[in-house]
A and B are shown apart, each in its own frame.
Chain A
Amino acid sequence: MTVAVIQFGGSNCDRDTVQALESLRIDAELVWHEDSLPEHTDGVVLPGGFSYGDYLRAGAMAAHSPIMEEVREAAEAGTPVLGICNGAQVGCESSLTPGAFTTNESARFQCEHVHVRVENADTPWTRQFEDGEVLELPIAHGEGRFEIEDDRLEALEDDGRVLFRYCEADGTVTPEANPNGSKHSVAGVTGAAGDHVAVLMPHPERSTLPDIGSTDGQGVLEGFRAD
């Protein structure tokens, strides 16, 4: 199996993601966004970075890249797709996942470690964890505030489509632990095609290699491992 890590102009976490996946013995390769998905693509990562320089809105241009139509088709056909940071913005802009990630409440770029609570452990991305388990993951974004209409957010929560919420180290969800003003502290959600499609603002690939420190991101990337 191969996980295609899509390289947009301006992606900068693409190689990190390949390295992190390979450290977990999950085969991965870089795929340029103007090329096609490899024939045996068993997973797709939309990686972090600043595709198209964040022009217009973060992720807005990349959402219309040639390869995204194939990614949408693959997602519909059941291929796991994970959008990380800029990839999460691309995922929402391309309607793979609901809502939008927009300017942080602070109006600043924030680069720090945060805690997130597992809200639904019954997805490929969270099955390594327990419901309510707290992970430590890094964030690095200026546009990570999750926005969505109230009624749609309620529907996502009712359907178990919120993956993670920002929280204190003990798992309590507080306004202080919400780094960017995300509605209901949402840090990641799953897609309309099913929970095999997901996006999150924190970086699991930056907390996978033991040399870096936290390895809590490993469990998220394990979602690509075939059952």
Chain B
Amino acid sequence: MTGYTATVTVRLKGGVLDPEAETTQQALERLGFELADLRSADRFEIDLGAESADAAADRADEMAERLLANPTIHDYEVDVTER
């Protein structure tokens, strides 16, 4: 059993409106920053023990499928590093 950190990044699918990101962009622009676009994402860092990096990724994948992401509006990616 090895310790891993699985990082799950959940973001809105392309084409899905992101009002919070738009509002954040406007707020940055009001502060005088110049930017072309802004996208937001949620990142979950999950510490877990598994037999292999692949096994850790599989479990994180299932967590994303079942709870962390909503497949109707989200894409997600999983990145595993040894802890």
**Contact residues in B for A157 (Cβ distance below 8 Å):** none
Size of interface on A: residues with Cβ below 8 Å to B? 20
Among B16-24, B30-38, B46-54, which stretch is in contact with chain A?
A: B16-24
Measured CB to CB, the closest approach of chain A to B14, in angstroms, equals 12
Secondary structure call for the A interface: loop
Say yes or no: B67 contacts A181, CB within 8 Å: no
B68 at the A interface (CB under 8 A): yes
CB neighbours of A100 from chain B (8 A):
70, 72-73
Cβ of B42 to closest chain A Cβ, rounded Å: 8
* A residues near B73, Cβ cutoff 8 Å: 100, 102, 147
Q: Which residue of B lies closest to A93 (CB)?
A: B70
- CB-based nearest B residue for A147: B73
Specify the chain A residue showing the minimal Cβ separation from B19. Answer: A107
A181 to B20, CA, bound (A): 13
Which residues on the A side are within 8 Å of B16 (C-beta)? 102, 147
Binding site for B on A (CB under 8 A): 56-57, 60, 64, 92-93, 98-100, 102-107, 145, 147-149, 181
